[in-house]
Structure 1
């Protein structure tokens, strides 16, 4: 073979290689057919006959419990359902705790119980068991909207009730839910007829429409993240005077970052509170008398403009990697979990792109980012508590105050609200910052800034008369509330155990009426 011919062959091979790398074809969805109707698809077990391997991986999620079988932790997260405010050892507590959660959410149902989330297969069980929903009353205190991201019966509910569904009584749907078969599952993301990816979430569909987008036009790779965006997002419940009562809305109209959504929520509310007129509020904190907003779990928003998001890495690439069952058939795992569980999982996810790095190195880099985020998260939490306390002290101060006291207190409360929003944005997001490390640190920096501004405004309002009471470690000034629940809220003596709890009125005494999906008392 001549050198000239050999050079030609090598050039042709290199051309083909580079062409293959630069023009990656869009993945095609395999063709499937089932005999399932939409009604039958509301049972996850109905898919077992057609997709036994995928169903087998999904079933692993049911073992996520207080035991140490499949339930296990990564460094900063996991699936052992501990109480996230308790510091200590698993299973009830964990070393990476946030001790002030009950303080910061006081007066709101989140202060009763906030646990580490378990897998999708446990969604209905954990929803019906959570103390945030009132099980001591005939009426839940929360609307049927809460089923939206927990139940695979949602397509049927929307078909039957339309927009009336959202404001219906939550407890009216308890008994028709099987704890396992009706958890969020197959039909949430797949059309049961051909198993193509689809969006069943009304609020996501409408949020995209307001931005001039239609998920039906999305590529398959985009859909591998959009199906997750049905639930792993920030949202709020619409007020009946603004739109459809209790309908979930994604606040993306000004953008998907925390600053954008905070500005968005200065509208779409009905409060006439001075300084907050027309702003959206979830509840008013009883200690600082501040109109507050609660962040949900903005994983999609955190990821969308991250390094991985910009590179086209989909949620499923990391949380539903391809795996071989029985050493043969390759499927997308439906054991949706963190790739940090094992070195093998890291190799199947991170290692598919970062081929020059070991699994140990990649794991260390993730934890390094999380450590930096966690340090700032804890500082932001402490500053938020100090801000509430400063406003409380200022509002009860009996010494000489500034002539513009009321205006300064409005500014202080607005900064309390804003500081806690930015803290909660990272706290509620379930990656300890790794989905977007730069955004997480930036968000927590802003949280600390706004909370410190709140303290400054409160001190100025009192001519710094409250300043001595705010000096020192916040744990000495305001201890964490370790115990609080709906049942304890009925006990006046419990409300005397912490200075902040004294701002609550006791609930009427009552017996437990609902135990999961069964009514145990009238």
Structure 2
């Protein structure tokens, strides 16, 4: 469609915006009304390139997400292995967490966990990553994984209804154009009016459970809700008796903090939560601890942090207004760290400071969080090893061994959940420094308590095996993949890997570009 066919009708400009005061909620922050469009596109348009000619300046900024060469101190878009602190970029990086494969042993995350590239790579990176089983016709993940990677979900829900959630991820591989169906325009905008909308069913349901209807939400709230469609913690409902993963569910019913989620996962209600009893994503094969995998809770961390509580939206920092084409002002659709756009993202509010100050404050907070994250990670590994040793201990045990071990197991579960809440959150604590440090403090204390209980259960018979540097007790697993798990020699190379089953020899069915190769 030519630009001449685009009808733009500007809405009435709102009253002059007031200064944002710390402590305000985002609902109290007035925002200028945006333009209203009649694009002429179909209501169900989901191809990204359909918007290119209509919004060329926004499209240009969106396409900059293809740049996968930029790094900040603790993040960026270069696709490196997040457990690899040995090798240089792009394979590894200095700020790595060496025990990710150990802590996620038995979960597909143990195979590959890379730094995410820009949103334009979301679909491609999901389908190529080793977490998705590309060695078998039936994958280990359901179609629900597409929810945060593509614009096609409304199409599939209309076509398949709720049966979509139970479909196999491989069933829909060949229907996707990796570039034009990846995260894009129609995930957040009504194709006809360009109004902000929620297309993520799980978010719509979670907000309604909290008494919030996004259709009535202020624009400033929507500038964060559209990001909350994916930058959140979630799990897949599996029904009271387990089985195949189904619909995504956001565990916000008791609150947004890790303690709230820990309690939520303790005892679910099938008709509401999709599970009963204690929920677990998997059981660690070494320790036998039932665990929760936390997913990127940026929204939960931000919402009561310094910026979220002050009414500063996600878009204010990550999609700042920029001047383009000489004079026009648009909201940038190059989604990246505000450290690359300090003048536009930070100094609009912190006008009495300079860019150097802003960057230093961010890195200062992140470094403090990172240091404690490493401690929490190490103590979590020690807790798993302590529970393993206690389970396999053959000496004289305490009379209340079972009770002590059960408490150690639960504290190991909780300690890892709290560590992962910060580990999986993509700001290295900056979205909410106080919450990040408190969460890691609880993780460290609970993991250390688990170790002490496991020792006591064995009359301290295992204590000598748990003393010293954790890297000497349990070395980090640097290399592990589906292909390597087809080798018994590889499994024999590390004590913890020996708890995994040997996989049958096989070759991949799809390559990194989603082409079928056999």
| Selected match of 2:31 from 26, 31, 41 | 26
What is the alpha-carbon distance in structure 1 between the residues aligned to residue 31 and residue 321 of structure 2? 17
Cα distance in 2 between the residues matched to 1:18 and 1:498: 64
* Residue 14 of structure 1: aligned partner: none
- 2:282 matches 1:286: no
5+ residue gaps, structure 2: 1-14, 21-27
**Distance (whole Å) between structure 2 residues aligned to residue 24 and residue 411 of structure 1:** 46
State how far apart, in whole Å, the 2-side matches of 1:54 and 1:19 are: 24
Instruction: After TM superposition, give the deviation of residue 247 of structure 1 in Å.
Output: 0.5
> What is residue 77 of structure 1 aligned with on the other side?
75
- Quote the offset at 1:26 in angstroms: 2.9
Q: Residue 200 of structure 1: CA displacement? A: 0.4
Matches of residues 176-191 of structure 1 in structure 2 within 5 Å? Answer: 176-191=175-190
1-structure distance, mates of 2:327, 2:291: 53
Structure 1: gaps (5+ residues): 1-16, 65-70, 271-275
Correspondence 1:204 to 2:200: no
Match of 1:68 in 2: none
8 Å CA contact retained: 1:232, 1:300: yes
Q: What's the CA shift for 1:245?
A: 5.4
- State which of 368, 371, 377 in structure 2 corresponds to 1:372: 368
CA distance in 1, matches of 2:228, 2:169: 23
| Pair 1:109-2:108 in alignment | yes
Decide whether aligned partners of structure 1 residues 114 and 20 sit closer, same or farther in structure 2, where only a CA change above 3 A counts.
closer
**1:148-167 alignment, distance < 5 Å:** 148-167=147-166
1:42 paired residue among 36, 42, 46: 46
Where does residue 144 of structure 1 map in the other structure? 143
Q: Distance between the aligned counterparts of 1:323 and 1:19, measured in 2? A: 19
TM-score by length of 2: 0.92
Structure-to-structure mapping, 1:319-358, within 5 angstroms: 319-341=318-340, 345-358=341-354
Whether the aligned pair in 1 keeps the contact of 2:142 and 2:167 (CA below 8 Å) is yes
Partners of 1:277 and 1:353 in 2: CA distance:
47
Number of the residue aligned with 1:51: 55
Q: Deviations over 1:400-432 (max 9, x none)?
A: 001111111111111111000000000000000
Say whether the 8 Å CA contact 2:484–2:490 is kept in structure 1: yes
**1:308 counterpart SS class:** coil
Equivalent position of 2:88 in the other structure: 89
Residue 454 of structure 1 pairs with residue 450 of structure 2 = yes
Q: Deviations over 1:145-164 (max 9, x none)?
A: 11000011111111212221
Moved more, 156-165 or 374-383: 156-165
| 1:507 matches 2:506 | no
**Counterpart Cα distance in 2 of 1:152 and 1:174:** 14
3-state SS of the aligned residue for 1:324?
strand
Q: What is the CA deviation profile of residues 449-485 of structure 1, one whole-angstrom value per residue up to 9, with x for unaligned ones?
A: 1101110110011001000110100000000001000
| 1:461–1:52 distance in 2 versus 1, CA, 3 Å | same
Equivalent residue of 2:323, what SS?
A: strand
Aligned ranges 1:4-19 → 2 under 5 Å: none
**Whole-angstrom CA distance in 2 between matches of 1:485 and 1:18:** 56
Tell me what 2:515 maps to. 518
SS in 1 for 2:37: coil
Partners in 2 of 1:511 and 1:226 — Cα distance?
41
Cα distance between partner residues in 1 of 2:18 and 2:122: 42
Q: Indicate the residue corresponding to 2:390 in structure 1.
A: 394
Aligned residues: 490
Match of 2:246 in 1: 246
Aligned to 1:192: 191
Distance 1:121 1:519 in 2: 21
Q: Which residue of structure 2 aligns with residue 362 of structure 1?
A: 358
Counterpart residue number, 1:237: 236
Aligned to 1:7: none
What's the RMSD between the two structures over aligned residues? 1.8
Measured in 1, the distance between the counterparts of 2:474 and 2:72 equals: 31
Distance 1:269 1:510 in 2: 40
SS at structure 2 position matched to 1:330: strand
Whole-Å separation in 1 of the counterparts to 2:479 and 2:16: 61
